[in-house]
Amino acid sequence: MKKLATLFMIMALAAITAKSALAGDTLAEAKKKGVLVVGCKDSLPPFGYIDEKSRQIVGYDIDFVNAIAKKMGVKVELKPVTSASRMPQLQEGHIDIIAATMTKNAERAKVIDFSHTYFFTGQKFITKKGSVKSLKDLDGKRIGTAKGSTSEQNVKKAIPTATVLSFDDYPQAFLALQQGKVAAVTTDEAILAGILAKAPNKAQFEIPNLQISDEPYGLGMRKGDTNFVNFVNKTILEMEKNGEAAKIFDKWFGPNTQFHLQRNFKITAGK
């Protein structure tokens, strides 16, 4: 009887340990390893893309995680992810944090935790110039986007008659538009602006002023990884206060860049 009780106690202890290992403490573990493994995009300027000269992945998302890792005193290891692979990669422990144009929403927040909003944009379309004046013009048309994105879900709701073609990432969807296989590509305006800026035949395309959603970006962390979530939030609030966050925004979206966006948000606790 005593033996059985001990066995139960061991089993209960093992279960507790397994559970805490699952949530883990990324802050402590990354410090111990000396490295923070980041899931990022590698073909979406100016968020995460390969710089032609250095052959390194650079961008707005990367600068945020670099600042966080610097504060932790660790190196950053970048691992490219897609919209569909980023949450499983995080949950399976292949990455420690998602910094990959990711919108925070209630559905995703059931599975992972998010930082405060560190970027704010909204969903629009790229089309052939002059072809789309209102959403009605896209009725019954083929529209390209990325698998596993909010863009995919939003467009299905906004234009139920359209056929949505989902690619691994947005550059492939844009190729389909260039080849005339879709009538539009839809995702966040800031991503579309980046794709258009790099397109060789950009004069043929435009981003009509048709917005179908708000897209606040958060850094994604494992559910219950509380120490790390608190540390990341504290760091990005500090970056807002000391001007570093606005400086990163200006570097990628300011008046001397190809994108020229207004900074229409501030990093705030609770958002």
Interacting residues with ligand GLU (CB under 6 A): 83, 100-103, 146, 149-151, 187-188, 191, 215
The closest alpha carbon to 249, from 235, 233, 266, 234, belongs to: 266
Least gap, CB of 249 to ligand GLU (angstroms): 17
* Angstrom distance (rounded) from CA 67 to CA 96: 15
Which 3 state secondary structure label does DSSP give 186?
strand
Least gap, CB of 237 to ligand GLU (angstroms): 22
* Angstrom distance (rounded) from CA 194 to CA 46: 6
With respect to ligand GLU, which residue has the nearer C-beta, 182 or 191? Answer: 191
Tell the burial category of 71 from Cβ atoms under 10 Å away from its Cβ (0-12, 13-18, 19+): middle
Q: Which two tokens stand for residue 161?
A: 């008659």
DSSP for 125-182, please give it: EEEETTS-SSGGGGTT-EEEEETTSHHHHHHHHH-TTSEEEEESSHHHHHHHHHTTS-
Residue carrying the six token digits 């043929």: 204
Least gap, CB of 150 to ligand GLU (angstroms): 4
Least gap, CB of 146 to ligand GLU (angstroms): 5
**Dihedral sign for Cα atoms in the order 116, 107, 38, 99:** negative
With respect to ligand GLU, which residue has the nearer C-beta, 27 or 194? Answer: 194
* Angstrom distance (rounded) from CA 51 to CA 198: 12
Tell the burial category of 76 from Cβ atoms under 10 Å away from its Cβ (0-12, 13-18, 19+): buried
Check if the beta carbon of residue 245 is closer than 8 Å to that of residue 239.
Answer: yes
With respect to ligand GLU, which residue has the nearer C-beta, 113 or 215? Answer: 215
With respect to ligand GLU, which residue has the nearer C-beta, 30 or 166? Answer: 166
With respect to ligand GLU, which residue has the nearer C-beta, 127 or 150? Answer: 150
With respect to ligand GLU, which residue has the nearer C-beta, 147 or 234? Answer: 147
Least gap, CB of 253 to ligand GLU (angstroms): 16
With respect to ligand GLU, which residue has the nearer C-beta, 52 or 107? Answer: 107
Least gap, CB of 7 to ligand GLU (angstroms): 46
Least gap, CB of 82 to ligand GLU (angstroms): 8
